[in-house]
Structure 1
């Protein structure tokens, strides 16, 4: 039975009573994968690549590579992978090459797939004793804790969609992560850096000369590493590997400045390296080939940026820009480095516009728009009612116009989240769109959103998923290293105005073991963090930072500590209860598509 026959019931429904539009005819949409995307998966087959005489890159175990450098007096491990389990497997492969002791770990930047597996290579005791040093940019720790503490809940959920965390085996078959194999997850660990720098560091590690350079690009704290003795460049994600770089990530991130990224790629070109070892994908050999890959990558990013700005200055808005800015054939066809497996031109263009001009596109109608649900109710009424809208959506679906079908169905869903027919049309449209995608981010978002629409990713599942993914960005090891001010700063964005609008109270926090004092002032719905406790503050909690760590991890609470004596309380318990009641720490299920 073809799709037209299957859908005939929907088409005929125009002549039936409105209540007849209850369900779509049965249809099985078989999982499939874009042929080029499936072929791209072979790039990440598990293999240890030997580079020059002493560098080994482990490709295919985690979404990011780990690199082993064999130095005269020991090993340098560059990037620690996404989980302890996978990093242990990589270390076992490295141990087939050498049994030298690990002397240093290098974090090229703060993203979880580059740091979370560190305890698969070394122990905390080895680092504390000085046996192992950990090198990083001097903002890495700040980036780690700020990311997880400030926007962890929403970032965790959006990351789940980006990486297709709940997709079934059929939807993951032959898939990859664009820049590596599919992320496998696992236990997250973290050990803070012991040696950091800002701009550059030329040093000797385990008897080997190394040169570190700050190269802001895919991450603000990105660093690269050059080995002058054999002209090997560890390029981190300045060269993001076998894909068009992700100038913007759909999971959400601060503005990635393409100009800084291009400048950093030019910095890498200046090394004239004979070998390049990216932290995603395979190594590159030969000075001419390294130069070609770096030059073409920088030209791809520069073209997208420069043409976006050119047309912005002619008044085009994001929806117009994405139709105007397209890579020319010599760049778009440069495989695999500028193929859209991970980044895309379209979502990069939108973030460049936003990065320079913000959300306002110049039409004042957007300054105070009709609320979405009210707007959709009016539009549906003008179009003849919900059933006519969904008939049009069904017709678009039959004709293969899946984007239009999804847009039309979205009107009905915003008015009634439980509209089964609308959700079904949109879910089926997303599956059709998703299976056709070459880009893993777009594919995963379509398919995860389809699951949400189908009801297989409900509130309970989404809450559990967000909490699990949040642990990737803020693991227990990271929580131990959360500075007091970062923990308390998180309270500022948790204030509940309904509870705090009539409250004016200040609560001091004293930590004798680390000799720090801070205070939070609730001032009628606004919270200010003070370093030190203001004079006249009558409410104060005194506790050790070690106890606060157990509060942060969820093992204890401030009230429990007050009862058991781990927290000394000065002032009225009733006032402290009022103060604590001003904050909203409840976790809520996050619906990203059904809104």
Structure 2
């Protein structure tokens, strides 16, 4: 669990001192002005870069601030949410320092977005339509029905959702929950479900629970197979170990940060699988649009005719979104995404209010139409221009450095790269069509980073010469080149302290110059780990038990197959019946040729082992909350066949428990 720290002291004074002195060399007392986590002061190059940005964008435009504050009903001044053990789940208070002009260590446009995302509380959007914002990464929308509250996207965790609904009821009345809508299959839009209704209420069927087709499958499976890698990378993307400060984490661009608490899910009883699809929920008419395979594998938008209000879910937000997310995921279809927005624009052309799963609403038919056109054309432009350049032979790296948005698409703050960026989204389009190989044979079978690093160091005349060259480039503000150069040196020798320190200072500057919240967090997290090492522990998956227990058993066995150590399993053949006594369901596992297959079927009579186990105990084992050997030899389950063979089988499973190296190889 992450406990966020208080903001560090401002870096503006030290940054200006560096600029006025003309000193940009980290060799001159390199730790001078470092914050509590060791992040260096912004260099003169960074200060100049961020000052120039301030002159290029229309910061005098205050309409977003007017919209973000419109309709405020009430807000909590001390918004700190903890779990039952006292661990911090959400700390809006930590961001109070984000006000006034941007410090030299933050891109001014990102600072502006962070100030807007600081606006929190309960807001009236229209009669019978409210939003509570700033209690999580996402918003929870509240629609007044005939008998109660219809809740849209009940946040990430039970703790944040419960606190948000409590505040809503304090302000608007203690009405029951009369409906729930999950707009899509990402956890920040459903994880708090059991914070707003009980399991008994969910199972009763009396409350309409609405979700897009494929919701349960996608929401429970997205992170399972790729989970350990994705979780580790997500720590970088969201700055999990960074202090919340002027030189640390300030915002994701999409919202402040993910909440770290207890995750749940409830199964929908009403599915949206076509467009348009009209439902009446607790007396409220809603028209739904099914939008699978764009921002999320399963997603919907909807329209409220009474209020003339359109919910864009997350296919629309106040930033350029990700066609590829840095935590790692399958690339998203830019062309489909653009088409859905155009479909929304035509289907809900009478909309006078726009609201969504993140950020603040918009009012006015013309404003909404322009907004939809802007985002429609953004994703299609990236798609089309990436292909145009690829057809000319440009590689992904070259396209990312070449492609530019036209002025007509680049003038709005709502389209800036606060979350996704033009550079990495163009790479996503290329990857979607052409994969990882750029066509250059030198990149077909390259050396490993460690081996390549050693050769680069040798070719440049040794570590000292390489470090000197990097220092000279750093002094010129050539930070991208310094990062590329020193990455080779650090991978060649993870114990080279000077190289790691200079690379860390380089990542500091790249982070300070980033308009994207995730880019900033990735760079600064890399700098943090170069200075302090990787985390001792990974994420605690037991907090997600409430969601994982709903995953199909097939998903668990797919994960198990990906955990088999193939070389160790070579020559071993086993057939195992996994019989779940409380589900009356059996999965037959067959291990041969170092590969694990599974089939849901009747038990094999000639199996080497039959394991009779309850679903709950199986979850304990899968989540690592049960002692394997004690469990296998206890009376909590029964084993027919050789327990030693079963222990041998489980010994072949490699579970990633410790965080792996990212910025170097120890």
Q: When the two structures are superposed, what TM-score results if normalisation uses the length of structure 1?
A: 0.91
Match 2:609 to one of 527, 539, 552: 539
Q: Does structure 1 retain, via aligned residues, the 8 Å contact 2:156–2:190? A: yes
What is the CA distance between 1:379 and its match in structure 2?
2.1
Match 2:270 to one of 167, 170, 195: 195
Q: Does structure 2 retain, via aligned residues, the 8 Å contact 1:24–1:421? A: no
Distance (Å, rounded) in 2 between the aligned partners of 1:120 and 1:578? 41
Structure 1 residues 180-259: aligned runs within 5 Å: 180-200=255-275, 201-216=277-292, 217-239=294-316, 241-259=317-335
Cα displacement string for residues 71-104 of structure 1 (whole angstroms, at most 9, x for unaligned residues): 1122210001122332233213321123321111
| Aligned counterpart, 2:568 | 499
1:591 correspondence with 2:661: yes
* 1:51–1:6 CA distance, 2 compared to 1 (3 A): closer
| Aligned counterpart, 1:54 | 128
SS for the counterpart of 1:430 is: helix
Cα displacement string for residues 236-285 of structure 1 (whole angstroms, at most 9, x for unaligned residues): 0010x211122221111111000110111012112112211111111111
* 1:173–1:123 CA distance, 2 compared to 1 (3 A): same
Distance (Å, rounded) in 2 between the aligned partners of 1:590 and 1:539? 34
Q: Mean alpha-carbon deviation: is it higher for 364-373 or for 446-455?
A: 364-373
1:476 correspondence with 2:545: yes
1:276 correspondence with 2:365: no
Cα displacement string for residues 17-48 of structure 1 (whole angstroms, at most 9, x for unaligned residues): xxxxxx96756423721222212223220143
Match 2:41 to one of 6, 30, 34: 30
Match 1:467 to one of 527, 534, 539: 539
Q: Does structure 2 retain, via aligned residues, the 8 Å contact 1:558–1:567? A: no
Distance (Å, rounded) in 1 between the aligned partners of 2:452 and 2:311? 52
Match 1:42 to one of 115, 120, 124: 115
Q: Does structure 1 retain, via aligned residues, the 8 Å contact 2:242–2:249? A: no
Distance (Å, rounded) in 2 between the aligned partners of 1:592 and 1:360? 22
1:166 correspondence with 2:244: no
Match 1:442 to one of 519, 523, 538: 519
| Aligned counterpart, 1:132 | 207
SS for the counterpart of 1:368 is: coil
1:372 correspondence with 2:442: no
* 1:258–1:85 CA distance, 2 compared to 1 (3 A): same
Distance (Å, rounded) in 2 between the aligned partners of 1:501 and 1:89? 52
Q: Does structure 2 retain, via aligned residues, the 8 Å contact 1:34–1:437? A: yes
| Aligned counterpart, 1:575 | 645
Distance (Å, rounded) in 2 between the aligned partners of 1:493 and 1:162? 24
Q: Does structure 1 retain, via aligned residues, the 8 Å contact 2:289–2:344? A: no
* 1:374–1:546 CA distance, 2 compared to 1 (3 A): closer
Q: Does structure 1 retain, via aligned residues, the 8 Å contact 2:632–2:643? A: no
| Aligned counterpart, 1:326 | 404
* 1:368–1:550 CA distance, 2 compared to 1 (3 A): closer
What is the CA distance between 1:4 and its match in structure 2?
7.2
Distance (Å, rounded) in 1 between the aligned partners of 2:635 and 2:232? 37
What is the CA distance between 1:509 and its match in structure 2?
1.0
Cα displacement string for residues 195-244 of structure 1 (whole angstroms, at most 9, x for unaligned residues): 223335422211222222211321110111222233221110010x2111
* 1:424–1:242 CA distance, 2 compared to 1 (3 A): same
1:70 correspondence with 2:149: no
Q: Does structure 2 retain, via aligned residues, the 8 Å contact 1:59–1:65? A: yes
Distance (Å, rounded) in 2 between the aligned partners of 1:342 and 1:93? 29
| Aligned counterpart, 1:384 | 461
Cα displacement string for residues 360-382 of structure 1 (whole angstroms, at most 9, x for unaligned residues): 11122222223332222222222
SS for the counterpart of 1:551 is: helix
SS for the counterpart of 2:223 is: helix
| Aligned counterpart, 1:150 | 225
What is the CA distance between 1:459 and its match in structure 2?
4.6
| Aligned counterpart, 1:14 | none
* 1:545–1:83 CA distance, 2 compared to 1 (3 A): closer
Cα displacement string for residues 44-67 of structure 1 (whole angstroms, at most 9, x for unaligned residues): 201433223211112222221100
Q: Does structure 1 retain, via aligned residues, the 8 Å contact 2:221–2:555? A: yes
Q: Does structure 1 retain, via aligned residues, the 8 Å contact 2:479–2:506? A: yes
Q: Mean alpha-carbon deviation: is it higher for 163-172 or for 323-332?
A: 163-172
Match 2:497 to one of 413, 417, 420: 420
| Aligned counterpart, 1:20 | none
Q: Please, which runs of 5 or more residues in structure 2 have no aligned partner?
A: 1-16, 35-39, 43-104
| Aligned counterpart, 1:289 | 367
Q: Does structure 2 retain, via aligned residues, the 8 Å contact 1:7–1:25? A: no
Cα displacement string for residues 284-305 of structure 1 (whole angstroms, at most 9, x for unaligned residues): 1122111111111111111111
Give the count of matched residue pairs: 573
SS for the counterpart of 2:471 is: helix
- The CA RMSD measured in Å over matched residues stands at 2.3
SS for the counterpart of 1:148 is: coil
| Aligned counterpart, 2:436 | 359
| Aligned counterpart, 2:14 | none
What is the CA distance between 1:535 and its match in structure 2?
5.2
Q: Mean alpha-carbon deviation: is it higher for 420-429 or for 409-418?
A: 409-418
Match 1:310 to one of 382, 385, 388: 388
Structure 1 residues 388-403: aligned runs within 5 Å: 388-403=465-480
SS for the counterpart of 1:467 is: coil
Q: When the two structures are superposed, what TM-score results if normalisation uses the length of structure 2?
A: 0.82
Match 2:598 to one of 529, 534, 541: 529
Distance (Å, rounded) in 2 between the aligned partners of 1:287 and 1:6? 50
